[in-house]
Amino acid sequence: MSDAVETDRPDAKLVLEYEFDAPPAKVWRAVTIPALRERWLPDCDLAGAEPESTITGEEVRYRMRDSEPPFRESHVIFRIEPNEDGGTRFRIIQQACEVTLPRAANSNCCLMRAAA
C-alpha cells in the first residue's frame, strides 16, 4: 500500500493504492454492486447511491458527504487495473468538491429591487 497526499495545491487530493490477489472483475463487483459495496462503503456516506460516472471495469466515481456539519462533499474515484501478478491494483482517489459560498449582502454587486 502506498499513501500520497498532495497538500500544496488548492485542489489537493488523497491517493491510496492497494494490491489485491483477487482478479480485477471480482474487485469491480465489490465496488459497483450496491449490496457488496454497502459492506465497506455504506450508502449513508454517499451523497447519492448511484455513481457519478463509470468506465466499466476500470473506474467508478461517487460523491461522498460528511455525516457531521458542515457536511462537506468530496469526489471519490476507484480505479482498478490488473497487476503483474494476475491480481488487482486498486487506487482510491479522494478530492474535495468546490465550495460555492453565497454572496454577501454588501458585495457591491447589482442590486435587485422588488417591483412595487
Record the cell numbers describing residue 47, joined without a space: 451523497
What is 75-105 written as a DSSP string? EEEEEEEE-TTSSEEEEEEEEEPPP-PPPPT
Mean pLDDT of the chain: 81
Whether the Cβ atoms of residue 75 and residue 85 lie closer than 8 Å to each other: no
pLDDT(20) > 80:
yes
pLDDT(3) > 80:
no
Whether the Cβ atoms of residue 74 and residue 94 lie closer than 8 Å to each other: yes
Residue 100's contacts (CB-CB under 8 Å, 6 or more residues apart) are none
List the single range of 7-21, 31-45, 46-60, 76-90 with lowest mean pLDDT: 7-21
pLDDT tens across 79-113, in order? Answer: 999 999 999 999 999 988 765 555 565 655 555 55
Question: Considering the entire predicted model, what is its pTM?
Answer: 0.71
